[in-house]
Structure 1
């Protein structure tokens, strides 16, 4: 049996701001933006090449109010990931070199934090 993670919720306070951040600023695909009613809106974004998407919206009740996530994503090259984010004016830290990987960190306007990890195989 396979277990595939395909959707992870994010808590946001302003759906339009989050959609603009992930879609326009970070450059991820906005898969869905469905307004069912004033009380229910579902937005889904997917990073390029990812099998897992992220969702946020109004009335979804997936996370407690005020919560935030820390999500780690694997990338092929931390330096390229850093350059990509900086070209898009996303505030991020430089590459953090660790024995188990090279990391680039950023966060969205609601405090959801992201670690982009280039896996390093010890020699």
Structure 2
């Protein structure tokens, strides 16, 4: 049996601000933005090349208010990822070189943290 992670919820305070960050600033696909009522809204965005999306919105109650996620994703090239993020105006520092990978870190406006890892194989 396969277990595929396809959706990760994020707690956000302002869905429109998060759509702006993930959709416009990061350039990720905004797959769904369904406003069922003023009390219920579902938004789903997907990073380029990912089989897993993230969701947020209003009234979803998937995560406690004020909580945050830490999500790690794999990228082919940490330097290219850093350059793309900085080119889009995302606050992030240089590449963090570790024996087990090269990392780039950033946060969304609600404090959800992201680590982009370039896997390093021992030679």
SS of residue in 1 equivalent to 2:82? helix
Q: Which residue of 2 aligns with 1:80?
A: 80
Task: Find the counterpart in structure 1 of residue 27 from structure 2.
Answer: 27
Which consecutive segments of 4 or more residues in structure 1 shift more than 2 A? none
How large is the RMSD of aligned CA atoms in angstroms? 0.4
Q: Which runs of 5+ in 1 are unaligned?
A: none
SS at match of 1:42: strand
Residue matched to 1:13: 13
What is the TM-score normalised by the length of structure 2?
A: 0.99
Q: Give 5+ residue unaligned stretches, structure 2.
A: none
Tell me the TM-score normalized by structure 1.
0.99
Deviations 1:13-64 (A, max 9, x none): 0110001000000110000000000110000000000000000000000001
**How many aligned residue pairs are there?**
123
